[in-house]
Structure formats: structure tokens, C-alpha cells
Structure 1
Amino acid sequence: MTRTIPLPGLNALWRTFTRDLFPYPCTATLFNQYADAIPSLDRRGAANIRRRNLHAYLASFTAPPRLLLVGEAVGYRGGRFTGIPLTSERLLLDLRAFPYTTRPTSRGEPYAEPTASILWGLLGPYRSQVIAWNSVPLHPHAYGDPLTNRAPRVPERRAFLFLLQAVYSRAGVEHAVALGNHAAAALTELGIPHTKVRHPANGGATLFRRQMGALLREFAILPRG
């Protein structure tokens, strides 16, 4: 990787990902975007690009983030092709939203994801203070259809609790926020104090913005870029 990760905790987290996440085996309905690629969908070297994107994301933090935002699982319009949690390819191309070197990996037009657009539309000015992760950091999909999303199963969520704990502990955050029930269940199982907000999908955008805005004020998190 060309850029070092300046924060020791996030550098240690990268080593954990390298050891425990990147080699994690796929199943017929759970895709590891950091290890594998589908030639008809992914560009050459896609898995390596996604690992580099995640590295660039971690390296972008020059001070410890204050808030951990936990989503449900990787979606095919988001982290499946970017390698960055809760982030679409369309956002990667917007240097105002993500001002560091990243690359899309899909063969087609860059994907946009409504959830990612809503999240970073609100949280963009707080980007350096919010670190995003998913309770299931791989892409659950329907059998035989990799361009779908499915809800993660309980055993899948529990299989990755140790990684969620590592992100929370090593990022040095003060607060955790769960996007919806699956993320809240994972944080609850770990005993991590958190606040649950409405997931912005399926008509939840307005309530999400209201709840998240209130939390930013409560936590005294101010725009910092």
C-alpha cells in the first residue's frame, strides 16, 4: 500500500483484517469482496483494488474518529464493489465526499446506493469523525444471483462479532450508532453501548436524518471535513 495508516489503532485493525477478514471463505450466498471476483461483474484485479480502497479509507483518518456507525451488511450497490463500508462507487468518484485515492471495480456504470447517498449526504461534513462498518462485512446475496441483497443470518452476524469488537476498540471511538435492528443486535451481543436509529432505506430517510442530526448535536460532534 502506498500510504501508511497514521493511527496505531487503525493500523492494528488493518493487520486484523489482513489476517482474519480477507482470507474468509465465500459460500454460495456470502461473497468476500476482498478475496474473490466474478469475471462477468468485476474488473481485473478487483479484489486487490477493494483491499486498497479499504486501506485508503483507514489511512484517511488523522485523528481518532469519535463515532462508529454500524450497518447491517455489505450491499451489492455499495461495499461489494468499493470495499468501503456504506459507500457506493458513485461516491468514490466524488472527491468532495471522499478526497483520497480510490477506484471502482465493477465492469458497468458505477453503482449508486440510496442508503450510502443519504448517509453521506448528511454526514459528509463529519466524515473525519465517523468511521463506518457493517455487522456482516461481506455481501449476503440470494443463491445464484450475486446482484441481490439478503438479510444476514444470525450465525453470519455472530461469526463477525469479533471484527466489530476490534473496530470499536481499536478505532478509539466515544459513541456507537446502529443503523437498524441487525446492527443493534450485534452491538447488544457485544455489550457495546449504542443508540439505534432508523435505517434510511425503505422510506426511513427523513426519520434517519432527524435522529442522526439530534445525536450529532447531543454528542457535540461539529463539522470538521
Structure 2
Amino acid sequence: MTPKTFVSALAAAKLPSVFNPWRDRCSIHDRSDAAARRRSNLRGMLEASLDAQVETIWIARDLGYRGGRRTGVPLTDEVHLTHASALMGGIELERATQGPEVAERTAAIVWQVLGRIGQPVMLWNVFPFHPHDADDPMSNRCHSRAEREESWPLLQALVSMVQPKRIVAIGRDAHLALAGLETEVIAIRHPSYGGQREFKDGMYGLYGIDTDPVVSPELPLRPSYAATARAFA
């Protein structure tokens, strides 16, 4: 499978109470060609990963509504699209949404760590789409076992295409879900819910980098974002 055919396979998926950023368009926040922009972003990341012969895929659980749902790049919010572009060799990554940039705390910590590591990696999720509550498209929920099983061939195709030497599972849920893969899987604490220090220590230790002081990212987080979105849903 190639990056182009992989992205096409992703874009063909449609599940209830699931937003597919490479297929779907949010009527509130997205530009008219948002899905196409996100497909282009992901294809660029995949092609750059193959060109760089990345050795590692970082895999978290699901896409979040503030990050990959908007950008099409897992574990990456709009604030850090330029960081992703630079790390992957200056590829072009475009915003797919309108209005102010939206930040995600997990993405901020991930990119803070990637900035110190300075090595290209492929970023992904066990369930590659954004699962949400049926009556709240701007909510986050854990994907179901049935949803994971339906999307599992996509994860297998990604691993087969990238051929990493190791996979880093971000969080316990991701680690448990990835147990069936043949590639070595290393578990690292998820940075949310007080796990920032352990996440950073784990990642820096994995790459042989000295740890740094814990500094919570100062983000332009907007608590009213989800509430505003729901008001217009």
C-alpha cells in the first residue's frame, strides 16, 4: 500500500457517531475543502515518514476533537502544524478550519517532546477517527471494541507500509490494544491526567535525552470552544 492508497482507504470509512476527518466536513468550523486539505496533510506526513525511513510510530488511542479531527494529523493541533512541517523536512501542511487556531494540551506536550528529540516519527491512533457521543459531535469518547476491529486492517496496513523498528504506545489503553502486533511495542504513560512528567521522562529515556523541568504549556485553550460548538450543532 502507498500513502495515496492508504489515505483513500481511510477516506472511504464511515461509522455512526464517528467523525472521519479525511472524509467528513464539520459545518461549523471547516472550510469547504477541509477533508481534501486533511487528506493532503496526512499524505504529506506519510510520504515524509517513508522518505526519512522513520524507525518509530507513536500511537495513542483516538483522535481528539481539538487536534487530529481538525488537522488530519494525529496528535497534532493547529498551533503545532508548523512544528510538524519543520520536523518532517518542510512539507506543506494546511489548516482545514476557519476562525482562530485551536490548541490541544496533549498535542502541545507531544510536540514539546518531539522538539527536543528532533527525530522524525510517524504519529497515529489505535482508532484513527474521532469517536464522539451520538448527540455531541464535539465530545470525546473511547472507541468500542467493534470499532477497533473494523479499523484494525488500516493500522496493520500502516505498520506494514512504514515498517518501524518499534512502536511507542501512548497510554495504557493504546498499549493493551496494540498487544496483537508483531512489532515491538513500548508503553509510555499518557501525558493527560497528571501524566506529563512520566510521559516526558519515558520518552526522553527512550531516546537517551536528559529530562527537563516540568513546565505546563501555556496554550490559548478556550474552555468555551466545545460549548460554543454544541450551541450551533
Q: TM-score, normalised by structure 1?
A: 0.84
Decide which of 86, 100, 112 is 1:109's aligned counterpart.
100
Aligned mates of 2:97, 2:61 — CA distance in 1: 22
Shift of 1:111: 1.3
Aligned mates of 2:54, 2:117 — CA distance in 1: 9
Matched, 1:80 2:88: no
Instruction: Tell me if the contact between 1:91 and 1:97 (Cα under 8 Å) persists in the aligned partners.
Output: no
Residues 25-69 of structure 1 show CA distances to partners (whole Å, capped at 9, x for unaligned) of 141x11111111122221111111110111121232322101111
Shift of 1:127: 5.3
Q: How does 1:1-225 map to 2 (within 5 A)?
A: 12-18=2-8, 20-27=9-16, 29-61=17-49, 62-94=51-83, 96=86, 99-126=90-117, 128-217=119-208
Aligned mates of 2:183, 2:86 — CA distance in 1: 32
Gaps of 5+ in 1: 1-10, 219-225
Q: TM-score, normalised by structure 2?
A: 0.81
SS in 2 for 1:129: coil
Gaps of 5+ in 2: 210-233
The one-letter amino acid paired with 2:73 is: I
Segment drifting more, 145-154 vs 209-218: 209-218
Segment drifting more, 197-206 vs 104-113: 104-113
Shift of 1:204: 0.7
Identity %, equivalent residues: 33
Instruction: Tell me if the contact between 1:187 and 1:193 (Cα under 8 Å) persists in the aligned partners.
Output: no
Instruction: Tell me if the contact between 1:161 and 1:190 (Cα under 8 Å) persists in the aligned partners.
Output: no
The one-letter amino acid paired with 1:12 is: T
1:151–1:75 distance in 2 versus 1, CA, 3 Å: same
Instruction: Tell me if the contact between 1:161 and 1:186 (Cα under 8 Å) persists in the aligned partners.
Output: no
Instruction: Tell me if the contact between 1:53 and 1:102 (Cα under 8 Å) persists in the aligned partners.
Output: yes
Instruction: Tell me if the contact between 2:45 and 2:122 (Cα under 8 Å) persists in the aligned partners.
Output: no
The one-letter amino acid paired with 1:81 is: R
Instruction: Tell me if the contact between 2:7 and 2:39 (Cα under 8 Å) persists in the aligned partners.
Output: no
Shift of 1:172: 2.0
Please identify runs of 4+ aligned residues in structure 1 that moved more than 6 A.
none
Instruction: Tell me if the contact between 1:23 and 1:35 (Cα under 8 Å) persists in the aligned partners.
Output: yes
Instruction: Tell me if the contact between 2:87 and 2:119 (Cα under 8 Å) persists in the aligned partners.
Output: no
